Amino acid sequence: MKNLHTADVIVFLIYLAAVAGYGYYIHRRRKGGGSKEFFLAEGSLTWWAIGASIIASNISAEHFIGMSGSGFALGLAIASYEWMAAAALIVVAVVFIPLYRENGIYTMPQFLAKRYNNHVSTIMAVWWLLIYVFVNLTSIIYLGALAIHSVTGISFIVCIAGLVIFSILVTLGGMNVIGYTDVVQVLVLIIGGLVTTYLALVLVSVSFGYESNVFTGLRLIGEKADSHLHMIFSSDHPYYSDLPGLSVIIGGMWINNLNYFGCNQYITQRALGADIKTARKGLLFAAYLKLFIPVIAVLPGIAVWVLYQNGAFHAEMMDAAGVVKPDHAYPTLLSLLPPGMKGLAFAALTAAIVASLAGKANSISTIFALDIYKKYLNKEASEKNLVFTGRWTVVVSLGLAALVAPALQNLDQAYQFVQEYVGFISPGVLGIFLLGFFWKRTTSAASLMAALLTVPLSAFLKFLPSWSGGWFPDLPFMDRMTLAFFILIALMILMSLLSPASAIQHDRLLKIERSYFKVGMPFVISSLVILGILVAIYAAYW
- Asked whether residue 275 carries a pLDDT value surpassing 70, the answer given is yes
Asked if residue 7 belongs to a domain, the reply is no
Q: Which of 508, 509, 491, 483 is nearest to 450 (CA)?
A: 491
What pLDDT is attached to residue 37? 53
Residue 59's CATH number = 1.20.1730.10
d(CA 292, CA 299): 11
The number of CA neighbours under 13 Å toward the Cβ of 249 is: 16
Any idea what the Cα angle at residue 413 is, between residues 356 and 470, rounded to 5°?
A: 125
Residues in Cβ contact with 486 at an 8 Å cutoff, skipping those fewer than 6 apart = none
- Asked whether residue 228 carries a pLDDT value surpassing 80, the answer given is yes
pTM above threshold 0.85? no
What pLDDT is attached to residue 3? 64
Q: Percentage of the chain with pLDDT > 90?
A: 15
Lowest-confidence segment of 67-71, 84-88, 172-176, 320-324 by average pLDDT: 172-176
- Asked whether residue 172 carries a pLDDT value surpassing 80, the answer given is no
- pLDDT-derived band at 318, boundaries 50, 70, 90: low
Mean pLDDT on 188-212: 84
**pLDDT by residue (tens digit) across 130-164?**
888 888 888 888 878 877 787 777 888 888 888 88
Asked if residue 199 belongs to a domain, the reply is yes
Asked if residue 275 belongs to a domain, the reply is yes
What pLDDT is attached to residue 41? 47
**pLDDT by residue (tens digit) across 86-134?**
999 999 999 998 888 888 887 787 888 888 888 888 888 888 888 888 8
Mean pLDDT on 365-371: 83
Mean pLDDT on 175-189: 65
Mean pLDDT on 441-449: 89
What's the burial of 249, exposed, middle or buried (CB within 10 Å: 0-12/13-18/19+)?
middle
What's the burial of 324, exposed, middle or buried (CB within 10 Å: 0-12/13-18/19+)?
middle
Residue 324, SS3? strand
Q: Percentage of the chain with pLDDT > 70?
A: 85
Averaged pLDDT score across all residues of the chain = 81
Lowest-confidence segment of 43-52, 177-186, 378-387, 445-454 by average pLDDT: 177-186
DSSP 244: -
What pLDDT is attached to residue 351? 73
Mean pLDDT on 455-472: 84
What pLDDT is attached to residue 74? 87
Asked if residue 469 belongs to a domain, the reply is no
Asked if residue 245 belongs to a domain, the reply is yes
Q: What are phi and psi of 324, to 5 degrees?
A: -65, 130
Asked whether 143 and 328 are in contact (CB, 8 A), the reply is no
What pLDDT is attached to residue 415? 61
Taking the CB of residue 223, how many other CB atoms lie within 10 A of it? 10
Q: What are phi and psi of 441, to 5 degrees?
A: -75, -15
What pLDDT is attached to residue 23? 66
Max avg pLDDT among 27-31, 237-241, 353-357, 397-401: 397-401
What pLDDT is attached to residue 167? 79
Residue 364: give the domain boundaries.
45-422+512-540
Residue 318, SS3? strand
Domain count, the chain: 1
d(CA 125, CA 123): 5
- Asked whether residue 179 carries a pLDDT value surpassing 70, the answer given is no
